[in-house]
Amino acid sequence: MGRMAEMRALVLFDIDGTLVRRAGPHHRQALEDAVFAVTGLKATTNGVPVAGMLDRDIVRTMMEAAGARQTLVRANLAAIMAKAQNLYVRRCPDLRSKVCPGVRGALRRLSRRAVLGLVTGNLSRIGWKKVERAGLREHFQYGMFAEQGTTRAALARAAVREARRSGWIDRGSLVTLIGDHPNDIFAAREAGIRVVAVGTGIVSMEDLAAHGPDRLVADLRELDLEWLLCG
């Protein structure tokens, strides 16, 4: 592994509330429509605390709330996730106006010196479509998504392993997760990496601070890039 890997940091980003916000009802609607298309069950995300959750867990929760048995959920989950992604990529609107403050500048500067990846509860095609329609796709080398792990912490650990396996970083590289929800903070802690909490989601700055992130910023215009890159 060469000197470049030794010197490069890894910065992992959540999507919803961190890179984009107020992206519309299309994601929720795709999940609901997919459940109905596959099973005939009318399930809704209403009342489901979707922020910070993995899409697979959202689907399970909404189906159970609609009265589905675990056997029905397990038998149809893969087909529902595939259908939801097909629906979303056809419906996703232009999200360039939904990009959170400071995101474009931070990504532009970081991508010159660090490896950037996604760690998100979105299913993969949904996550990539959001990033693409927001005009941010070029900055990210890879991502870990809802179908690739059972928890957000598992996704974060997988992201670090993949970066090391690919030779982009080594074991001495700085690794940081940036997210807008306490679940991002918990995931980073479990994965043994640093975390920046950003107040552009639905969780208040006070609530985020209570969970003790390494850094807390109102939006990514306040991000300390040198801390991310050099410690």
Q: Is the pLDDT of residue 51 over 90?
A: no
> Over 60: is that where the pLDDT of 120 sits?
yes
Would the pLDDT of 2 be above 70?
A: no
**Residues of the chain by 3-state class (helix, strand, coil), percent to 5:** 50, 15, 35
If asked whether residues 106 and 9 sit together in one domain, one would say: yes
pLDDT band, very low/low/confident/very high, at 147 (cuts 50, 70, 90): very high
pLDDT classification of 22: cutoffs 50, 70, 90: confident
Whether residue 186 is found in the same domain as residue 101: yes
> Residue 128, SS3?
helix
pTM for the full predicted model? 0.92
pLDDT > 90 in the chain, percent: 87
Token output for 66: 């609609």
Residue whose tokens read 């215009």:
221
Of 98, 119, 127, nearest to 24 (Cα)?
98
Same domain, 189 and 143: yes
Is the domain of 209 the same as that of 101?
A: yes
**155 & 186 share domain:** yes
Confidence label for 1 from pLDDT (cuts 50, 70 and 90): very low
Residue 7's pLDDT is: 55
216-228 average pLDDT score: 95
- How much is the average pLDDT of 170-181? 94
Choosing from 91, 106, 123, the residue where a domain stops is: 91
Query: What is the average pLDDT score of the chain?
Result: 93
- What percentage of residues in the chain have a pLDDT greater than 70? 97
Residue 59's CB is within 10 A of a number of other CB atoms, namely 27
Q: Are residues 56 and 119 in the same domain?
A: no
Q: Does residue 45 share a domain with residue 109?
A: no
71 and 85 part of one domain? yes
Q: What's the total number of domains in the chain?
A: 2
Alpha helices, H only, the chain: 3-7, 26-39, 55-65, 70-91, 103-110, 124-133, 152-165, 182-191, 205-210, 225-230
Shared-domain flag, residues 42 and 77: yes
Token pair belonging to 223: 């991000």
Asked if residue 3 has pLDDT above 80, the reply is: no
Q: Give the per-residue pLDDT at 47.
A: 85
Which three-class secondary structure state does DSSP give residue 114?
A: strand
Domain end (from 43, 62, 91): 91
* Domain, as residue range, for 83: 26-91
Q: How confident is the model at residue 171 (pLDDT cuts 50, 70, 90)?
A: confident
Provide φ and ψ at 214, rounded to 5°: -65, -35
On whether both 71 and 100 belong to a single domain, the answer is no
Of the residues 60, 91, 122, the one at which a domain ends: 91
Read off the CATH number of the domain in which 35 is found. 1.10.150
pLDDT for the residue 4: 45
DSSP notation for 184-208: HHHHHHHHT-EEEEETTSSS-HHHH
DSSP symbol at 148: G
Classified as helix, coil or strand, 118 is strand
Closest by CA to 92, choosing from 68, 136, 128, is 128
**Range of weakest confidence among 23-27, 139-143, 177-181:** 23-27
CB contact at 8 A, 185 and 197: yes
Say yes or no: 11 and 120 in one domain: yes
Q: Would you state the pLDDT for residue 8?
A: 84
Q: At what angle do helices 26-39 and 70-91 cross, to 10 degrees?
A: 130
32 lies in the same domain as 103: no
- Given a cut of 60, is residue 64 above it in pLDDT? yes
Amino acid at 221: R
